[in-house]
Structure 1
Amino acid sequence: MLNKCRRLFSALLLFVCVFPAHALTLSDLQTRLSAHDITRGDFTQTRHLAMLDMPLVSQGAFLLSQTDGLLWQQATPFPLSLVLTGKTLTQRIPGQADNIVNADDNPMVFYFSRLFLSLFQGDTDALAAQFDLKLTGSTEKWHLVLTPKQPPLSQVFKEITLQGAEHIDMLTLHEVRGDHSEIRFTKVTFTPTSLTEEEQGEFGD
């Protein structure tokens, strides 16, 4: 019986070695992250600053639309909404007028805003123009390291890392000065597959 169990275990190991998890290419990853028109979920952002003993933590919900952009709704420590589209970045704080930024008004802010939209959408073609990309792992768990090629990104970020499976689980920003931020995504869902009227209003539709 013991020998039979050993033979079975050996056969299982051989099966795992012969049929490993499928390795991802950058093209595979882009296809995977853009497969769903709508992605919703919660986020927890933890920012570690060298000058502070305790990290700064914010939480809220996000909505990513492949056609409309990114809606980032912070709930704590104070309410704040950011709406990022291909043309504008809009900041909304309750009781205040909307602050709208476009490429003509502030090219540098909009440059970084577009970068983060590319990150969330997994647009590896756009990211490859600005970063050296190193992808490891498989369809079950992948890890993407982005190293800036040139200023202004190389003056701000040492590297940016993404990791996940079907979607991005965590985004980490490592800054040149030593600070870093981690954004974890939870309760991610791909339904409903269209925007609600309220969400359409957030994007200005």
Structure 2
Amino acid sequence: MKLRHCLRLLALSSLLVVSFVAGAADDAVQAIARDVARPAVLRGEFSQEKQVAGFRNPLRSQGRFVVARERGVIWTTLKPFPSEMVITAERILSRQPDGSTRVELDAREQPAMRSVNAILFALMSGDVQALSSQFTVEAQRDAKGWTLSLTPKSPMLAKAFSSLQLRGDRYVRQVDIVEASKDRTRLTFSALTEAPATLAADEAARLD
């Protein structure tokens, strides 16, 4: 798996429970941060549409996810081909329908991966100090919700994508990504729920 793809997946899944960052003087961003939920566990469904440069038709996939703010992310693709990605601070693990697993990236072997994880898990925990130097943020609010445009400052994150745009209300509902390669991805989240508020035994085991 390419590092860029892992970075993109980490960024997207982490942004589901993001506490947004900006300077303290940015009232719009601070207001959005107050409005967005920060549950310990968030579950939902996703649909993804990826437009690859040079191809006419987009690639589409659907699935479900579990984000545990203190543990990691379980990202399960159901269509068109079943697969699963488990993301923790230490590694990214892929699981196939036959039950076989493979470590895609291991932070113990790739120190840069640990830095990436630190940034993206800071997104999940709302660590403003860790994130404020990484993104240029522009915010808009209206009666329907809010829009945030994020441009990475970090060269490491810029290798994965050139910009992110998020739309939402209490939760992030849609993420548009422009990758450094100019490929574009739109993720739409639905059926979001904070219940149950703790991980099931099998979910916890997959994140161990």
Q: Which amino acid aligns with 1:202?
A: R
Unaligned runs of 5+ in 1: 1-22
Which of 157, 167, 174 is the aligned partner of 1:170? 174
Q: In the alignment, which residue of structure 1 is the partner of 2:3?
A: none
Alignment of 1:39-78 (within 5 A): 39-78=42-81
Alignment of 1:57-136 (within 5 A): 57-95=60-98, 96-99=100-103, 101-109=105-113, 111-112=115-116, 116-118=120-122, 121=124, 123=126, 125=128, 126-136=130-140
Give the fraction of aligned pairs with identical amino acids, expressed as a percent: 25
Distance 1:142 1:33 in 2: 10
Deviation at 1:44, TM superposition (A): 0.4
Distance 2:85 2:144 in 1: 31
Give the number of the structure whose alpha-carbon radius of gyration is greater.
Answer: 1
Matched residue count: 181
Q: Which amino acid aligns with 2:201?
A: E
Q: In the alignment, which residue of structure 2 is the partner of 1:157?
A: 161
- Residues 167 and 122 of structure 1, relative CA distance in 2, 3 Å threshold: farther
- Which stretch shows the higher mean deviation, 94-103 or 53-62? 94-103
Which of 144, 151, 154 is the aligned partner of 1:147? 151
Distance 1:45 1:114 in 2: 25
1:173-194 deviations in Å (ceiling 9; x for gaps): 1123321101100111111111
Q: In the alignment, which residue of structure 1 is the partner of 2:9?
A: none
SS in 2 for 1:153: helix
1:99-138 deviations in Å (ceiling 9; x for gaps): 253223234455555555555x373624322111112215
Q: Which amino acid aligns with 2:152?
A: P
- Which stretch shows the higher mean deviation, 133-142 or 77-86? 133-142
- Residues 87 and 141 of structure 1, relative CA distance in 2, 3 Å threshold: same
1:122-164 deviations in Å (ceiling 9; x for gaps): 7362432211111221585111111121413334422111110
Distance 1:142 1:182 in 2: 17
Q: In the alignment, which residue of structure 2 is the partner of 1:18?
A: none
Q: Which amino acid aligns with 2:190?
A: T
- 8 Å Cα contact 1:30-1:122 kept in structure 2: no
- Residues 98 and 150 of structure 1, relative CA distance in 2, 3 Å threshold: closer
Deviation at 1:40, TM superposition (A): 0.7
Q: Which amino acid aligns with 1:85?
A: T
Q: Which amino acid aligns with 2:63?
A: G
Unaligned runs of 5+ in 2: 1-25
- 8 Å Cα contact 1:27-1:124 kept in structure 2: no
Report the TM-score, using the length of structure 2 for normalisation. Answer: 0.75
Q: Give the CA RMSD over aligned residues.
A: 2.6
Q: Which amino acid aligns with 1:43?
A: F
Deviation at 1:39, TM superposition (A): 0.9
Report the TM-score, using the length of structure 1 for normalisation. Answer: 0.76
